[in-house]
Chains A and B, each alone.
Chain A
């Protein structure tokens, strides 16, 4: 790659989820040069794995499609996938960033014909389904993937499967000798849009996520509900593939808890309210949802959605943080134990599937951020002390899509101001 294209007029956006795409597009559409670096094989981030968006219950693919159209129409924006930022040095208006680009083993010639996947035998855990299903080791990340190019998993490169894939490709798109590349670029401002990751549910010992098959996370439930997901949209529970019709949602699983994440993850109440409507969509009045909660936090106008779900006779609310979960051996059902706060009744409630509304923690927990970055007590990024690096979306705070996009636009404006000042001072010189 030619590093000289980037200058200190360039804005680097790290992370290509809904926030990163928004930040990058807003700046590029203002005429700024932007590089969008995404670690995964495709843009889209976590929202591309959601079935529907609250509060309007529309499909995330719709928003993604609009952004992709904007992106293809813009010449100021360069997208780099499988690219990680390994270091940022320098100062506001004059940074040097190091990017590590992992090999895809497939070049621009790929037409997405899928012949390679047909001949490859090896299967890997589908990285887009939280291990709920398998995929061939030559695969298209997902239907809406951008770029629409196949990927070869590194495990088959150097093996017979890799050679088979190469032989099957009529377009000369497979390059088995691609190597990891490292490039250095000059940029003027950096926007961190690295997003969030789910809190590790196995750490919440009393809920037994690691012990009980039928205790799953809210993210896995999104995949179950999705007609393009591993179960074709049927709500089948993992232990025996039985239809789950009496589902418990446990709120604050890992959030608002000094033993886990201190903060309120802000979106998980809304996510569970939304997911009760997936249950209704599949079963009508037959499917029962029970939400166990401390408080329902549906902020601002999202309260309307809460009120609507409260009217739903198939949804029950229990004000109580579940104390622990035990397995009902004969049925593989789960027994939830606790005491409710409205009357202090002790309950032992049986459900056939338990969904943990897991908290959001910053994805950047675990990567080395530049030294002068300011983060809050949970690790969410506020920005750099020198005022040349910003955060956008869920990297800055646990935000829903609507608020992520607002925050991304704000970050974009700040970054534009930085490169503007840089060009003004350079003009005077």
Chain B
């Protein structure tokens, strides 16, 4: 178990609903779900998932902490907002889905190698470092996330598109060396650290 996870387990022992309410974005809405099933039936991905929003909300109330936080369902939400529009109780379902994913990531319980999680992680790392997303490095990292061999295959497959992007000045090959950044990345790092500190305080993380 990671530290953060041990802490959370100790703090909320058997009350996963309270944990979600306090620590997950929009989590306080979960108890408003009346289990009507409309979100599950309206979600375009619903039949491809193990856990629809309806099911996840019930599992939270039933205290199925491990199953919820290790589920990869919320990582597949495409933010189409169909569920939010239809929910008779106006739950901000999409945001809760992302909140759950984020929380599971924070506790390091989210499924390893889950593609959405990997993309998000690479995107964030690139952004948080320089204040700009380095598209070249980001794409390369994406290609190679499943290993060298797969990476080369991916890069070959995308070769012509990459070239076209370079020709039309949409991709700068020089980005590989350093790359552009915002004026003062140092201050950005401080801001992010501060935001993190505030969030940790509000949500009761002691890190």
Smallest Cβ-Cβ distance to A341: which chain B residue:
B35
Chain A residues in the interface with B (C-beta under 8 A): 206, 252, 256-260, 294, 320-324, 337-341, 344, 346
In the assembled complex, how far is the CB of residue B171 from the closest CB belonging to chain A, in whole angstroms?
A: 42
Q: Would A339 and B52 count as touching, CB distance under 8 A?
A: yes
Chain B residue contacts of A321, Cβ below 8 A: 36-38, 41, 88
Q: Would A341 and B88 count as touching, CB distance under 8 A?
A: no
* B104 CB–A CB distance under 8 Å: no
A-contact 0/1 string along B14-42, CB 8 Å cutoff: 00000000000000000000111110111
Chain B residue contacts of A322, Cβ below 8 A: 41
A338 to B46, CA, bound (A): 10
A321 to B89, CA, bound (A): 12
In the assembled complex, how far is the CB of residue A185 from the closest CB belonging to chain B, in whole angstroms?
A: 44
Chain B residues in the interface with A (C-beta under 8 A): 34-38, 40-42, 46-47, 52, 54-55, 85-90
16 A-B pairs, CB-CB below 8 angstroms? A206-B86, A256-B88, A259-B88, A260-B88, A294-B35, A294-B36, A320-B36, A320-B37, A321-B36, A321-B88, A322-B41, A323-B37, A323-B38, A323-B42, A338-B38, A338-B41
- Max chain B Cβ within 10 angstroms of own Cβ: one of A257, A260, A294, A323: A323
Q: Would A344 and B36 count as touching, CB distance under 8 A?
A: no
- For A323, give its contact among B34, B35, B41, B55 (CB under 8 Å): B41
Chain A residue contacts of B36, Cβ below 8 A: 252, 294, 320-321, 341
Q: Would B37 and A338 count as touching, CB distance under 8 A?
A: yes
Chain B residue contacts of A341, Cβ below 8 A: 35-37, 54
In the assembled complex, how far is the CB of residue A342 from the closest CB belonging to chain B, in whole angstroms?
A: 10
A-B contact count (CB 8 A): 60
Smallest Cβ-Cβ distance to B89: which chain A residue:
A258
Smallest Cβ-Cβ distance to B36: which chain A residue:
A321
- Max chain B Cβ within 10 angstroms of own Cβ: one of A256, A320, A324: A320
A334 to B52, CA, bound (A): 24
- For A339, give its contact among B54, B85, B89 (CB under 8 Å): B54
Chain A residue contacts of B41, Cβ below 8 A: 320-324, 337-339, 346
- Max chain A Cβ within 10 angstroms of own Cβ: one of B35, B41, B42: B41
Chain B residue contacts of A259, Cβ below 8 A: 85-86, 88, 90
In the assembled complex, how far is the CB of residue B83 from the closest CB belonging to chain A, in whole angstroms?
A: 10
A301 to B38, CA, bound (A): 30
Smallest Cβ-Cβ distance to A340: which chain B residue:
B37
Chain B residue contacts of A256, Cβ below 8 A: 34, 88
A323 to B55, CA, bound (A): 15
Q: Would B88 and A344 count as touching, CB distance under 8 A?
A: no
- For A344, give its contact among B34, B54, B87 (CB under 8 Å): B54
In the assembled complex, how far is the CB of residue B42 from the closest CB belonging to chain A, in whole angstroms?
A: 5
Q: Would A346 and B46 count as touching, CB distance under 8 A?
A: yes
Apart from the given pairs A206-B42, A259-B88, A341-B36, 13 other A-B contacts in the complex at a CB distance below 8 Å: A252-B88, A258-B90, A259-B85, A294-B35, A320-B36, A321-B36, A321-B37, A321-B41, A323-B42, A337-B41, A338-B41, A346-B40, A346-B46
In the assembled complex, how far is the CB of residue B95 from the closest CB belonging to chain A, in whole angstroms?
A: 16
A74 to B54, CA, bound (A): 58
Known: A258-B89, A259-B88, A323-B41. A339 touches B46 (CB 8 A): yes
Q: Would B42 and A324 count as touching, CB distance under 8 A?
A: yes
Chain A residue contacts of B89, Cβ below 8 A: 258
In the assembled complex, how far is the CB of residue A225 from the closest CB belonging to chain B, in whole angstroms?
A: 28
- For B34, give its contact among A294, A338, A339 (CB under 8 Å): A294
A206 to B37, CA, bound (A): 14
Smallest Cβ-Cβ distance to B52: which chain A residue:
A339
Smallest Cβ-Cβ distance to B55: which chain A residue:
A344
Smallest Cβ-Cβ distance to B47: which chain A residue:
A346
Chain A residue contacts of B52, Cβ below 8 A: 339, 344
Chain A residue contacts of B88, Cβ below 8 A: 252, 256-260, 321
Chain A residue contacts of B85, Cβ below 8 A: 259
Q: Would A344 and B90 count as touching, CB distance under 8 A?
A: no
Known: A294-B36, A337-B41. A323 touches B54 (CB 8 A): no
In the assembled complex, how far is the CB of residue A258 from the closest CB belonging to chain B, in whole angstroms?
A: 4
A323 to B35, CA, bound (A): 12
Chain A residue contacts of B46, Cβ below 8 A: 339, 346
A346 to B50, CA, bound (A): 12
A346 to B89, CA, bound (A): 21
- Max chain B Cβ within 10 angstroms of own Cβ: one of A256, A322, A344: A344
Q: 5 shortest A-B CB distances, which residue pairs?
A: A323-B41, A321-B36, A257-B88, A338-B41, A339-B40
In the assembled complex, how far is the CB of residue A288 from the closest CB belonging to chain B, in whole angstroms?
A: 21
In the assembled complex, how far is the CB of residue B41 from the closest CB belonging to chain A, in whole angstroms?
A: 3
